[in-house]
Amino acid sequence: MKDDLSSIFHKPEFKQLLAKYSDMINNHTTIYLEPDEITLLAEFYASMGNIRASEEVVNYGLSLHPDNLDILIFKCHNLIVKGYTTEAQEVLNSITDQSDYEVRLLQAELYLAQKRNQEADELLNQLYQDEKDIDTMLDIAHLYMDEHQKKNAYFWLQKAVSEAPDNLGVLEELASYHFSFGNPEEAANLYNRLLDEAPYTIDFWHNLIRCYLRMYKPEKAMEAIDFAMAIDDTNLITWELKSNALLLENEIEQALDCLFYIEKYTTEKPYIQNIIMSIYFITQNYQKVLEYADKITVSNNLTDFEMASLYHKKGYSHLQLGNVQACEEDIEQGLAYDNHNSDLYLLRGELQLTKGKPEDAQQAFHYGRLFAENEAEAISYAGNAYFRYEYWQQALSCFKEQEKLAPETMHGNYYLTAYCYYRSGQDEDMLTYLVRGAIFSPESLKKEEQENTPFHNDTHFLEQAKAVFMKIENGEINPMKYLQD
């Protein structure tokens, strides 16, 4: 959660460096860069989630400075993040000075990534014996935090607090600990304490805002944003956090205005354009999704996973706009980047239903479920697709399977299940799911929500659903017997 370098990234000197490096890439030329410039650029790209670009900077840096310790350490760290621990160990072994503090710390990080916890603990304890100071304690605590080892992280943080209870670095790391492990309230208290001592530190304001967002307190977040803006109203991180606060308040247009500001001034346009595209996707502005998808594609700066996700959004948008052929092409393009992408297979299943090919749809849905991180969500998607195209039995089969697998995910599909039974003439089962719908998703029957229900044109069914809801309200139906499996 610490943003030690974020303020540096907004300084004119770094922007000039970034522009110089970007020109080099775009013009296919070479320039000389100092090792610290290389690591700063690599850190910037890594902070934006662009690991590929970060690796490219590191590799270029090693072509200029093949034995530079800081660049080698950064390369090793990137490999650990990607899970390439064998390759990381090879790079680490190639470093001449194995006694260097940063090298030993990195070896401990590698041990933790390899689940060699005892060796990591021993190395870190010895490191502290050799370097008994606050910074060592904080570095060790930070490593354990990154590996989600809450108990060990807390031990070293408490050790640091006991020796330097008012040290700003200690308080900042403790705040980061509380935020990381689900206690944003305590983290917010600590960041407020830090701001009492250093009121113009923009990183502290950013992290305080993140705490309020995590606590779903957009009003408090906006108050903190106003202070951050007073310090620097051009800081793009502040603008992004403001967009997050506005999204929490469902102020979509204002949030987009913030993101447009960032898009105008950022050097990493694909990152922010992807956020804008995702908002348009969620709000069903499919023409804008396609517009931004094309902008992002031109950058040619995404991982294969990200490209597959982008083509899914393009394909879904094309389908919603009635362009079946373009949807089919997008699916093929996306699978060329990632042939295990669940969303693309699910979309292919829906596409087959538009063509009246339920057998082909079933096969696509099978692969969508097979590769899904959350099988219940994949089953729900398939059920809803069958429902929209009026394959009632297939939809019902999906919903029943979803209910058996993960009943807590079924709430939004109870009325759909009831409608499937209604269309099949199974009144007793329909009643069961009308009751469950009334209990778990009554908002579907509110007048302002009816246009969003898939059965809003079926007056007879809607009247029955409302009648059941009223009978429950009046005590004429005891819902408990309908909530049992």
pLDDT at 144 over 50: yes
Residue that is last in its domain, among 260, 295, 314: 260
Whether the pLDDT of residue 6 is over 70: the answer is no
* Residues contacting 345, CB < 8 A, separation 6+: 364, 365, 367, 368, 371
The candidate with the shortest Cα–Cα distance to 257, out of 270, 271, 242, is 242
356 and 280 share a domain? Answer: yes
Are 352 and 466 part of one and the same domain? no
List, as own/partner pairs, every contact residues 228-236 make where C-beta atoms lie below 8 angstroms and the sequence separation is at least 24, other chains included.
228/202, 231/200, 231/202, 231/205, 232/10, 232/202, 234/10, 234/265, 235/10, 235/202, 236/10, 236/262, 236/265, 236/266
State residue 136's pLDDT score: 96
The rounded distance, in Å, linking the Cα atoms of 27 and 426 is 68
- What is the spatial distance between Cα 459 and Cα 481, in angstroms, rounded to a whole number? 27
Question: What pLDDT does residue 471 have?
Answer: 94
Question: Is 345's pLDDT higher than 50?
Answer: yes
Q: Which domain holds residue 459?
A: 410-485
What is the arithmetic mean of pLDDT over 382-394? 95
Residue with tokens 């943003």: 3
Residues 180 and 1: beta-carbon distance below 8 Å: yes
- Predicted confidence at residue 71, as pLDDT, reads 94
287 assigned to some structural domain: yes
- pLDDT at 251 (0 to 100): 97
**Distance in angstroms (rounded) separating the CA atoms of residues 465 and 244:** 37
Question: Does the pLDDT value for residue 431 go beyond 90?
Answer: yes
pLDDT tens profile 271-289: 899 999 999 999 999 999 9
Exposure string of 388-403, with b = 16+ CB inside 10 Å and e = fewer, is ebebbebbbbbbbbbb
Per the CB < 8 A criterion, the answer to whether 441 and 452 are in contact is: no
Q: Can you tell me whether residue 391 is helix, strand or coil? A: coil
Which of 236, 260, 284 delimits the end of a domain?
260
422 located within any domain: yes
**Summary count for the chain: helices (H), strands (E):** 26, 0
pLDDT in tens, 275-325: 999 999 999 999 999 999 999 998 777 888 989 999 999 999 999 999 999
Q: For the whole model, what pTM was predicted?
A: 0.82
Do 369 and 331 lie in one domain? The reply is yes
178 lies in a domain? no
Q: Residue 394's domain is classified under what CATH number?
A: 1.25.40.10
- Of residues 79, 74, 80, the one with CA closest to residue 58: 74
In angstroms, rounded to a whole number, what is the distance separating the alpha carbons of residues 311 and 335? 9
Using a CB cutoff of 8 Å and minimum separation of 24, what contacts does 156-161 make?
160/134
Query: Residue 10 carries which DSSP code?
Result: G
Q: For residues 192 and 201, is the Cβ–Cβ distance under 8 A?
A: no
The length of the chain, given as a count of residues: 485
Higher pLDDT among residues 222 and 444, named by residue: 222
Let me know whether 388 and 300 are in one domain: yes
Residue 453 pLDDT > 70: no
End of a domain among 383, 409, 435?
A: 409
116, with CB counted inside 10 A (0-12, 13-18, 19+), is middle
Average pLDDT of the segment spanning 113-128:
95
Domain for residue 391, yes or no? yes
Q: What local confidence, expressed as pLDDT, does residue 1 receive?
A: 47
Structure tokens at 92: 């680490």
Which letter, b or e, does each residue of 271-282 get, where b requires 16 or more Cβ atoms within 10 Å of its Cβ?
A: bbbbbbbebbbe
Structural domains of the chain, count: 3
Specify if 210 maps to a domain.
Answer: yes
Is 297 part of any domain? yes
How far is the CA of 354 from the CAs of 324, 349, 357, 360, 388, in angstroms? Answer: 8, 9, 8, 11, 10
For tokens 């499996």, the residue is: 485
What is the pLDDT at residue 5?
A: 55
One domain for residues 389 and 453: no
User: What average pLDDT does the segment 224-236 reach?
Assistant: 96
- pLDDT range class, residue 47, cuts 50, 70, 90: confident
Residue type, 461: F
Residue 389 and residue 424 in one domain? no
- To the nearest 10°, the Cα dihedral for 29, 33, 37, 42? 40
In 3-state terms the chain splits into helix, strand, coil percentages (rounded to 5) of 80, 0, 20
Q: Please, which pLDDT band fits residue 3 given cuts at 50, 70 and 90?
A: very low
Q: Tokens at residue 135, please?
A: 């910074």
Q: Looking at the predicted structure, is the pLDDT value of residue 456 above 80?
A: no
Please check whether residue 380 is in contact with residue 396, taking contact to mean a CB–CB distance below 8 angstroms: no
Instruction: With cut-offs at 50, 70 and 90, classify the pLDDT of residue 48.
Output: confident
Q: pLDDT for 180-213, tens place per residue? A: 999 999 999 999 999 999 999 999 999 999 999 9
Task: Report d(CA 379, CA 173) in Å as an integer.
Answer: 42
Compute the average pLDDT of residues 44-67.
88
Residue 452: pLDDT over 60: no
User: What's 316-367 look like in SS3?
Assistant: HHHHHCCCHHHHHHHHHHHHHHCCCCHHHHHHHHHHHHHCCCHHHHHHHHHH
Asked whether the beta carbons of 206 and 237 are under 8 A apart, the reply is: yes
Categorize the per-residue pLDDT at 7 as very low, low, confident or very high, splitting at 50, 70 and 90: low
Residue-level pLDDT at 53: 86
How confident is residue 46, by pLDDT bands cut at 50, 70 and 90?
A: confident
Considering the domain architecture, whether residues 302 and 418 belong to the same structural domain is answered as no
> Would the pLDDT of 450 be above 50?
no
What is the enclosing helix (H) or strand (E) of 459?
A: helix 459-473
**Cβ 449 vs Cβ 417: under 8 Å:** no
Residue with tokens 């570095």: 139
Domain for residue 128, yes or no? Answer: no
Of the pLDDT bands very low, low, confident and very high (cuts 50, 70, 90), residue 448 is very low
**Tokens 């709430």, located at residue:** 411
Q: Does the pLDDT of residue 432 top 50, yes or no?
A: yes
Q: Indicate the helix (H) or strand (E) that contains 420.
A: helix 414-423
240: tokens are 């992004």
Same structural domain, 392 and 418: no
Same domain, 332 and 397: yes
Round the average pLDDT of the chain to a whole number and report it: 92
| Dihedral pair phi/psi, residue 10, rounded to 5° | -100, 0
Asked if residue 405 and residue 430 are part of one domain, the reply reads no
Displacement of CA 483 from its chain's centroid (Å): 34
Q: What amino acid is encoded at 65 in this protein?
A: H
Q: Is the dihedral of CA 312, 317, 318, 324 positive or negative?
A: positive
Considering the domain architecture, whether residues 404 and 354 belong to the same structural domain is answered as yes
375 lies in some domain? yes
Residue 292 and residue 418 share a domain? no
